[in-house]
Structure 1
Amino acid sequence: MAAQLTDDELSAALSGDPSGFSAVYSVISPAVLGYFRARGVDDAEALTQDVFVDVLPKLSNVRGGHSGLRTFIFSVAHARLVDYHRRSARTPHFTEFDPLEDHRRSSSAEDEVLGSMGGITSALATLNDDQREVLVLRIVADLSVEQVAGIMDKTPGAIKQLQRRGLIALRELVKEKDHAAS
């Protein structure tokens, strides 16, 4: 489980204290960044920053304690992701930069880690959009069924079914790859 805010840090953030917002950012931004990376955002760091720039002036209106704060932040993140995909659909596609063709530098540790995530991203790509969204919000963002239901505007039962079906599909994919490798 990810790090948690203390009650004092949460109170400070909700009252507008900069140190409280700093604590909120430190604790929750890695999960938001992971959410964007898992959903294939090409500049996940910038989108994460945008989320927290949007969240800062609205913190005093957040209700529901720790859970309410996480739900609010991931609601903003989800909205930013939807905007990102809409904007991407309207933007012309350019030839992608291929780091394997660029011999000006060697790969960094970050490149190695992000390269190993390709298998996860391709496995998630086999799911339908709702199943993928539920799994990323539940596992990467560490949100409860109820929080995900609120973000996706679905019932908790529907979220549970989407999660179950997504996990079954991933299990079958792993079995197929293991069978093919044998």
Structure 2
Amino acid sequence: MSGDDELARALIAAAGGDEAGFAILWRSLQPALLRYLRVAVGDAAEDVASETWLQAARDLERFDGDPAGFRAWLFRIARHRAIDNRRSAARRPEEPTDSFAGQMPAARDAASDALEQADTAWALRLVATLPRDQAETVMLRVVAGLDVASTARVLGKRPGAVRVATMRGLRKLAAMSAVQERSPQPDRSRGAIDPASGQARPGEV
């Protein structure tokens, strides 16, 4: 049985009140959920994740969709809980939480590859330096694995806005020296190619 089939069966079982089915959903999605929330709310990630799963368990019988839809639904709940947490923290400035600080790209390039291949803590530190809208789209697209349509539903944005925010974030990440050091370097022994002529530039062959 494929992973998708297992999740589909677990989702049906969980919706019917089966605890084992719900446990399968939790084991499958909790790691990505925590990575997203660590960028969204910092040290409060574990608490917000617990609140997210509690609401999901309470409302699951009203959910109607497939595993991909459930993933988007779960992250939408998580985002709302994260927003509530940040508002609460703002009323209690003595207990600050980390927030999104940067932008993240939507296209697959050296930046997204570096994020996927690097250790989690390193990747999250980079994402947290981006503006909030870009950081959210990068986390949901690259880290959580949501498609553009699902990310748009989670964020309440148009798909075009999601693509733009993701691209800007990834480009900003790609320009960071930390990402460039982890990305494969081009072989310069063959020379640089002039994009206008298609020929190698003088002195670079």
Please indicate the TM-score interval, normalised by the length of the shorter structure.
0.7 to 0.9
Detail structure 1 runs of 4+ shifted over 3 Å in the superposition. Answer: 3-6, 119-122, 175-178
- 1:131 aligned to 2:129? no
Gaps of 5+ in 1: 96-114
Q: Which moved more, 1:119-128 or 1:138-147?
A: 119-128
Task: Summarize the Cα distance change of 1:74–1:62 in structure 2 as closer, same or farther, 3 Å threshold.
Answer: same
Q: CA deviation at 1:175?
A: 7.3
Task: Summarize the Cα distance change of 1:39–1:29 in structure 2 as closer, same or farther, 3 Å threshold.
Answer: same
CA contact 2:89–2:95 (8 Å) conserved in 1: no
- 1:73 aligned to 2:84? no
Larger Rg: 2
User: Which structure has greater helix proportion?
Assistant: 1
- RMSD value, Cα: 2.5
TM-score scaled by structure 2?
0.68
Q: Which moved more, 1:79-88 or 1:17-26?
A: 17-26
d(CA) in 2 for partners of 1:31 and 1:133?
Answer: 13
TM-score scaled by structure 1?
0.76
Task: Summarize the Cα distance change of 1:163–1:147 in structure 2 as closer, same or farther, 3 Å threshold.
Answer: same
Q: CA deviation at 1:12?
A: 0.3
Q: 1:157 aligns with which of 134, 157, 160?
A: 160
Name the counterpart of 1:141: 144
User: 1:66-106 CA distances to partner (integer Å, 9 max, x unpaired)?
Assistant: 111111111110001111111111113269xxxxxxxxxxx
Task: Summarize the Cα distance change of 1:94–1:32 in structure 2 as closer, same or farther, 3 Å threshold.
Answer: closer
Q: CA deviation at 1:125?
A: 3.5
Name the counterpart of 1:99: none
Aligned residues: 157
d(CA) in 2 for partners of 1:26 and 1:39?
Answer: 21
Aligned residue identity for 2:93: P
Task: Summarize the Cα distance change of 1:6–1:126 in structure 2 as closer, same or farther, 3 Å threshold.
Answer: closer
